[in-house]
Amino acid sequence: MRKKVFTFATALVLITSIVLTGCGGTKTSAPANTASNAPAPAAEKVLKVGSDIAYAPFEFMDTKQQPTGFDIDLMTAIGEDLGYKVKFETAAFDGLIPALGSGKYDMVISAMTITEKRAQSVLFSDKYFEATQFIAVKKGSTIKSEADLKGKKVGVQVATTGQEVVEKLGITPKKYDTTPDALNDLINGGVEAVVADSPVVLWFIKQNPDKAIEAVKGNFEKEYYGIAFKKDDKATADKVNATLKKFMSNGKYNDIYKKWFNVDAPKF
Ligand code: ARG
């Protein structure tokens, strides 16, 4: 008799858990149901994402040393949509593509411009952001255009498109590990200009109103950011692209854009 009751109770618990699951009401993160012998929740699926987390407002550390920014929010939301928790790992920008290639990351998001050269070694998602290069200078500088950079000490972050455009002008720039390093050296007088992505220069100026830095627009080409995958990982790229597309049309992308840039996302 005792055995029968146990079986009945077990069946009841099983049925209950099946019904609950069917309603889509259970989450893997919900506390374990101690009253049942339902199977333990499946281990959380994790995406390992590499980024140079020193590029506000796209990726930077908050006061608690947690990654934050536009890219972080976008990638976290994409991961969530695909059923993954996203784990960010910070690394030097020039090491991201090699590390992706060696399998250290599932993908890279790092305000990375889609370029032909990079596309030889990685697979890019559809573009998710439009930017251009800006020149940061001290207020009152004689540098008013990219032509004025000739003969000046110009700082860039190593391996960025900023470095590329400066070298194209025939200038050998001073290379820094991070863009904040370059911008801080501009403040200190180590260089007369820094060339970096427009939103990053503008953000830095806004965050440092007492440092008398201003932005010069110049006439640089438009650049588009993409999320990078291993060259042969079309399966993941396709999934991420589908979610990106969805976020562009359902307002999610715009919400994230507005959070960081205070205006609606432009069409590009
Ligand atoms: N968009 C530029 C490039 O792709 C700069 C990106 C730098 N990103 C960063 N997280 N430091 O080269």
Q: Choose which residue among 51, 88, 112 to substitute to test ligand 1 binding: the one with the highest number of ligand atoms within 8 A of its C-beta.
A: 112
* pLDDT number for residue 135: 98
SS3 content of the chain, % helix, strand, coil (to 5): 40, 20, 40
Residue whose tokens read 């109103």: 209
Q: Choose which residue among 113, 121, 158 to substitute to test ligand 1 binding: the one with the highest number of ligand atoms within 8 A of its C-beta.
A: 113
Residue 6 in this model has a pLDDT that exceeds 50:
no
* Structure confidence by residue, pLDDT tens digits, 232-261: 999 999 999 999 999 999 999 999 999 999
* Structure confidence by residue, pLDDT tens digits, 130-168: 999 999 999 999 999 999 999 999 999 999 999 999 999
Q: Quote the ligand 1 centre to 25 CA distance (angstroms).
A: 41
Better pLDDT: 115 or 24: 115
Whether residue 57 is preceded by a cis peptide bond, meaning omega within 30 degrees of 0, is yes
* pLDDT number for residue 36: 55
Ligand 1 atom at minimum distance from 160 CA: 12
Angle between helices 234-250 and 70-82 (to 10 degrees): 110
Q: Quote the ligand 1 centre to 28 CA distance (angstroms).
A: 35
Residue located nearest, by CA, to atom 5 of ligand 1? 160
Class of domain 46-130+223-261: alpha beta
* Structure confidence by residue, pLDDT tens digits, 88-98: 999 999 999 99
Ligand 1 atom at minimum distance from 58 CA: 10
Confidence of residue 51 (pLDDT cuts 50, 70, 90): very high
Q: What is the Cβ-side half-sphere exposure of residue 71, based on CA atoms within 13 angstroms?
A: 33
* pLDDT number for residue 37: 64
* pLDDT number for residue 268: 87
* pLDDT number for residue 44: 85
Q: Does domain 133-216 have CATH number 1.20.1250.20?
A: no
| Six-digit token string for 112 | 């990375």
Q: Quote the ligand 1 centre to 165 CA distance (angstroms).
A: 13
Residue whose tokens read 């359902």: 250
Residue 225: CB atoms within 10 Å: 23
Residue 56: CB atoms within 10 Å: 21
Instruction: Round the average pLDDT of the chain to a whole number and report it.
Output: 90
55: Cα separation from own chain's centroid: 9
Taken in order 220, 225, 228, 234, the sign of the CA dihedral is: negative
Residue 193 in this model has a pLDDT that exceeds 90:
yes
**Chain region(s) in the chain for CATH 3.40.190.10:** 46-130+223-261, 133-216
